[in-house]
Structure 1
Amino acid sequence: MDLSLPSLLQFVGDHPFLFTALAVAVAALVANEALAQLGGEKRLPAGAAVRLINDQDAAIVDVRAPGDFKRGHIINAINIPAAKLKERIKELPKDKERPVIVYCAIGTTAPSVASELKKLGYGTAFALKGGISGWQTDGLPVTSK
């Protein structure tokens, strides 16, 4: 396999749609991370989430669609789809000082939900870095019960 610059340029010329899709995906990932950093959003790594769950009895909120939740979720998580947060807010702990960990599929939706929870008075709301995908990549358990 030739990895020289002329062969790379030939590949790009032969596959413009594929290259454009790659460029868009990379740009979206970079923009997502940059916005998170600029917005001051802290994403909680899975190991830190486990400690928060074990040490401070953090509530876990899955903001994915119910079908995704049924296929597999973090143990003891409650499913409140992101679009239904305000109408189902009463399902969250009454103690607004209790930490809340929010997760989605890959970590793109949860940060905005965590920010919304902070606006609603939950002082320690965190988005799980990488979502359920990152959780599973770290070898942590999920359940479908």
Structure 2
Amino acid sequence: MDFQELLAFAGRHQMLSLIFVGLTGGIILNEIFGLLRPFKGVRPSEVSVLVNRENALVVDLRPIADFDKGHIPGSKNVQMSQFDPENKKLAAARALPVVLVCKTGFTAGDAAKRLKKAGFQRVYVLEGGIGSWLQADLPLARGRG
């Protein structure tokens, strides 16, 4: 397929071409924004490594009822409404990696930005939230642990 054939295809299938350009642009923008954010997204397997090798603090920002139903073993629950980077629980972990967890990953991203502004150096967000942990078929602890 040469460039002329590609142009002819695009001319015949304008809607498909627009969708393709839009999706490609969206993917590129998503990657650029990912590089510019002040924290690093991690997969569930990477969380396990951070916890086991580097004693990372895992902070679950979900409501307490959701936390009680199932959370990453060893994680601490902090309500987003009470989230404060100067909190005693968090301030003591300034030198440790901190992994933030929420339902989908968006709330944790906001909290991660606040931690970075407060001087935390190693801030991570579980990509996909607790759902990605479940999809990876990793264990959950129940109750207030």
TM-score (structure 1 length as normaliser): 0.71
What is residue 97 of structure 1 aligned with on the other side? 95
Report how far residue 41 of structure 1 moved: 3.9
Query: Using the alignment, how far apart are the partners of 1:96 and 1:39 within structure 2?
Result: 19
Q: Which residue of the partner structure matches residue 122 of structure 2?
A: 124
Report Cα offsets for 1:48-93 as digits up to 9, x if no partner: 1110100000001000111111111111111101221128721225
Compared with structure 1, are the counterparts of its residues 72 and 79 closer, same or farther at alpha carbon in structure 2 (3 Å cutoff)? same
TM-score after normalising by structure 2: 0.71
How much is the aligned-residue C-alpha RMSD, in angstroms? 2.4
Q: Choose the corresponding residue for 1:66, options 64, 67, 77.
A: 64
1:42: Cα distance to partner?
Answer: 2.1
Residues 59 and 93 of structure 1 are in contact (CA less than 8 Å); yes or no, is this contact kept in structure 2? Answer: no
1:111, distance to aligned residue in structure 2 (A): 1.1
Deviates more, 1:59-68 or 1:112-121: 112-121
Task: Count residues with an aligned counterpart.
Answer: 117
Structure 1 residues not aligned, in runs of 5+? 1-28
Greater relative CO, 1 or 2 (CA 8 Å, sep 6+): 2
Separation in structure 2 between the aligned mates of residue 105 and residue 133 of structure 1, nearest angstrom: 7
Q: In structure 2, list runs of 5 or more residues that go unmatched.
A: 1-25
Identity %: 29
